[in-house]
Every structure is written in C-alpha cells, then in structure tokens.
Amino acid sequence: MTAHSAERTDSGGVITRDEVAHLARLARLAVTEDELDTFAGQLDVIIGSVARVGEVAADDIPPTSHAVPLENVFRPDERRPGLDQAQALAGAPAAEDGRFRVPRILGEEQ
C-alpha cells in the first residue's frame, strides 16, 4: 500500500492481507494466516479512524498539543546565603584536606 492509495479494496478495506504480510516481513514478525486476517481488519479500522479525523479537522482550527493551555510556573531567582566549607563538611561522615572523604571505587592506577 502506498501513502497515496486510500482507495477501498474489493473487500471494503483499505489494507489487504498481502500488505499486512509485507509489513510483517519488513518488521521481521512471524505472523500466522489467521493473524493476517485479524491484523488486516484491525489496521483497516485504524486507517479509517485516522481518515475520519482528517475529515473533521478544519483549516480555521489551530493545531494543539493540549486541550488546556500549559504555563510553566517558576519562582523568581533569589540569592540566598549558602554554607561555607566548614559548615558543609560538619555533617560529613569523613573529611580530609577540606574535602569530603569517600571510599575508593576504582583500583590503583598502574
């Protein structure tokens, strides 16, 4: 099925069993004969639904991503005092040379 062919097949659907088999091969999916019929019907319903949405969409209605406008709410940036080095290290389980002491996680360099 090409992107331009939206014509109904003799069975009434847009997508055929052979097209489903082709898509399954492209996607490397193992599909049984029964699944071909099932998927053809399901894909036909999806394609029909998308076509109906396209018919409803009007040029005077702008596209939207959300039904309600979203607005980010940020607090103003205000400078606040931070901790000095001694205060920051006061709660550390271990400190050395004015820095946090942590366990070595890598082996010695060779």
Domain range summary for the chain, segments of one domain joined by + = 1-58
Task: Look at residues 11, 83, 81 and name the one whose alpha carbon lies nearest to residue 43.
Answer: 11
Q: What is the spatial distance between Cα 81 and Cα 78, in angstroms, rounded to a whole number?
A: 10
- The verdict on domain 1-58 having CATH code 3.40.50.1970 is no
pLDDT number for residue 96: 92
Instruction: Provide the residue count of the chain.
Output: 110
What is the reported pTM? 0.41
Q: If residue 99 lies in a helix (H) or strand (E), which one and from where to where?
A: strand 99-100
Q: What is the spatial distance between Cα 25 and Cα 16, in angstroms, rounded to a whole number?
A: 14
| pLDDT value at 44 more than 50 | yes
